[in-house]
A and B are shown apart, each in its own frame.
Chain A
Amino acid sequence: MQVTATIIAYFHTCLRKMYLHHHGIRMEHTSDVVYEGKLIGESTYEDRAAKNTQLELDGIKIDYYDAKTKTVHETKKSDKMEHAHEAQVLYYLYVLQRNGIEGASGIIEYPTLRQRKHIDFDPERDVPIIEGWLQEIEQILEQEQCPPVINKSICKSCSYYDYCYVAEEIEN
C-alpha cells in the first residue's frame, strides 16, 4: 500500500479522519481552507521555484526539493506548528532515504507565523519509528469499522465536523 503524506499527517491528528480520507469520504471540497492553502503554495515562494524541483516518489509529492543542499521545503499555511507537520516531513525524508538519497533534511515554513522549523533525519532513530507507524496505519485502514469520533477541540475546525457530529437528539 502506498502511504501518502496526507495519511501520515492524519495518522497524527485523527485516526477516524485518516480512515475516512483513505476510503474516499472526502470533505475538502466543502472548505475554503484548501483553496487558501493552494494559493499560499503557489504564490509565496514563487521565486524559489526555478532553483527547486518538484519531486514525486512512491506516492508522495514534495513541493520544493533543493537537490544541491538536499533540503525538503514544506510550506504550511496554518497558524500553529503541529506535530503532524513534522511527521509528514520526517516521512518525506524516510522515503528519500529508501530511494537512495541519504542525508537529506527538511525545513517547514510557516509564512503566516513568519517561522521555520528544521527537521533532521537520523536513520537509526527514525526508520524503526516510521515503520512502526506504517504497520499501524495499514492495520487500521484494513479494519471494516471506521474508528470512532475523538471529541477533541480540533474537531471544531475539522472539515469532517458536520459529518462526524450530525445527529438527531430529541425524539418527537
Chain B
Amino acid sequence: MKKPYYLFNPGRLSRKDNTLKFTPVDEAGNEGQPRHLPIESVEELYVFGALDVNSAVLNFLGQESICVHFFNYYEHYTGSFMPRDYLLAGKVQIAQTRAYTEAKRRMPIARSLLDGAAANMLRVLRYYGYRERDLGLPIAAIEDLRQRLPDAKTSSELMGIEGNIRQNYYQAFDEIILDYDMGGRSKRPPKNEVNAMISYGNMLCYTQCLKQIYHTQLNPTISFLHEPGYRRYSLALDLAEIFKPVLVDRLVFSLLNKKIIQANDFRWELNKCLLKESGARNFAKYWDERMNETIQHRSLNKKVSYKHLIRLECYKLTKHVLNDGEYKPFKMWW
C-alpha cells in the first residue's frame, strides 16, 4: 500500500533505479545512512528539513504523479511540487469555470460547503457536549448562524458568517481540552499549544485535500467558497472547511486529552509556539492512521477510508458542475 513519507531531517533526495534514495546530511555536512523508498510505496512526500533535490528526481516524481509538500522551519506550509496535471478534462474544466463565474451557480455551492462545515462542527461539539461539558451556548450560537446561510447574497457575506461560526466553535475548545487553554484562534503565529496543533493539523488536511483534488479532473485553483487566488489552490481550502472538524479537531482533542502529545513536545520562540519534531512526528503518525481508518459508507454500501471521503467529495463536486447531480456536502453521520 502507498503511504506518505515525512522527511524531518535535512538531507539529499536522489533517484536510484526505481527507488528514491534519501541521504541524511547533518549540519557539519556529514552523510548518514541512506534510506531507500521504493517508488510504488510513496503516496506523497512531506518535507520539513532542508532538502537537496535535482531535476532527475523531480522528473521521476513527476512521472509517477507524486506530490511533494514543503514546510519551513516554523512548520509553516510554503508550497508544493505538483506534477503536471495528468487527468485534464476540457469538459470538466469549462463546467467548473462556469459554475464559478455565474453567481447564481457559485453561491449554492459555496453555501453548501459552509453548511457542511457548520454541520460537522456541530457534530463535534455535540459529541463532547454529551460528555458532561456545557457546550449549550456555542452550539446554539452556531445553529443560529447556520440558519442565516440561505440569506447570504455574496461570498463575502458567507465568509463573514463563517468567521462568526468559527469564533463560537473555537470558544468551545477550552471546555473540551483539559489541560491547555486556547483562548481563541491565533494563526500567524500560533500563540499556544492548541493553536500550534490546529495549525499543523490544518496544513495536513489542506495538503490531503489538494492531493485528492489532483487525482481527479477538478482544477484546484478554481474555488467556490474562498476567492480563487486567495491562495494558489483555493479549492483545497474549500474542501478542508468540511473536513477540518472531523479530521483535525477531533484528533487534536484526543492527542492532548490522552496526553499522547505533551508539554515537552512543543517549543517556544519569542511570540510563537510550535511543535517540536517529536510532536510533529507523532501527530503525523496518528494523522496517517486516521486517514486510513474506514467507515461504512451509506450510499456506496462498503467501507471507505477517511481520505477516500475527500476523494468522494471531489466526485460530487464534479457531478454538480456537470449538472449530473446536485452537490450535497459530506456531513458526519455517526
A→B interface (CB under 8 Å): 23-26, 29-30, 144-146, 161-163, 165-170, 172
Q: Is B300 an interface residue (CB 8 A)?
A: yes
Selected contact of B299 from candidates A24, A145, A167, A172, CB within 8 Å: A167
Contact flags B317-333 to A (C-beta < 8 A → 1, else 0): 01100111100111101
Q: Is the CB of B92 within 8 A of A166?
A: no
Selected contact of A170 from candidates B304, B315, B333, CB within 8 Å: B333
Residues of chain A with a CB closer than 8 A to B319's CB:
163
Q: Is B240 an interface residue (CB 8 A)?
A: no
Interface-facing stretch out of B83-91, B100-108, B161-169: B83-91
Min C-beta distance of A144 to chain B, whole Å: 8
Selected contact of B300 from candidates A23, A30, A145, A161, CB within 8 Å: A161
Q: Is the CB of B90 within 8 A of A24?
A: yes
Min C-beta distance of B48 to chain A, whole Å: 28
Alpha-carbon distance between A145 and B95 when the two chains are bound, in angstroms: 12
Interface residues on B, range: 20 to 34
Residues of chain A with a CB closer than 8 A to B333's CB:
170, 172
Provided the pairs A146-B322, A162-B300 are in contact, do residues A172 and B119 lie with their beta carbons within 8 angstroms? yes
Residues of chain B with a CB closer than 8 A to A30's CB:
215
Interface residues of B in 275-334 (CB under 8 A from A): 297-300, 304, 308, 311-312, 315-316, 318-319, 322-325, 328-331, 333
Min C-beta distance of B91 to chain A, whole Å: 4
Alpha-carbon distance between A170 and B331 when the two chains are bound, in angstroms: 9
The number of A-B residue pairs with CB atoms under 8 Å apart is 65
Alpha-carbon distance between A162 and B318 when the two chains are bound, in angstroms: 12
Residues of chain B with a CB closer than 8 A to A26's CB:
87, 89, 217
Provided the pairs A166-B300, A168-B299 are in contact, do residues A24 and B322 lie with their beta carbons within 8 angstroms? no
Alpha-carbon distance between A161 and B315 when the two chains are bound, in angstroms: 11
Q: Is the CB of B331 within 8 A of A25?
A: no
Residues of chain A with a CB closer than 8 A to B87's CB:
24, 26, 29
Q: Is the CB of B217 within 8 A of A25?
A: yes
Q: Is the CB of B318 within 8 A of A25?
A: yes
Alpha-carbon distance between A23 and B311 when the two chains are bound, in angstroms: 19
The majority secondary structure among interface residues of chain A is loop
Residues of chain A with a CB closer than 8 A to B298's CB:
168-170
Q: Is the CB of B89 within 8 A of A24?
A: yes
Residues of chain B with a CB closer than 8 A to A25's CB:
89, 91-92, 217, 318
Contact flags B34-57 to A (C-beta < 8 A → 1, else 0): 000000000000000000000000
Min C-beta distance of A170 to chain B, whole Å: 6
Known: A23-B90, A24-B87, A146-B324. 15 other contacts (CB 8 A): A23-B91, A24-B89, A24-B91, A25-B217, A26-B217, A144-B323, A145-B323, A145-B324, A161-B300, A162-B315, A163-B319, A166-B300, A167-B328, A170-B298, A172-B331
Residues of chain B with a CB closer than 8 A to A167's CB:
299, 316, 325, 328
Q: Can you identify 21 A-B contacts, CB atoms within 8 angstroms?
A: A23-B92, A24-B87, A24-B89, A24-B90, A24-B91, A26-B87, A29-B87, A145-B323, A146-B322, A162-B312, A162-B315, A165-B299, A166-B297, A166-B312, A167-B299, A167-B316, A167-B328, A168-B328, A168-B329, A172-B123, A172-B333
Closest 4 interchain pairs by CB?
A24-B89, A167-B299, A168-B328, A23-B91
Selected contact of A29 from candidates B215, B304, B325, B328, CB within 8 Å: B215
Q: Is the CB of A24 within 8 A of B329?
A: no
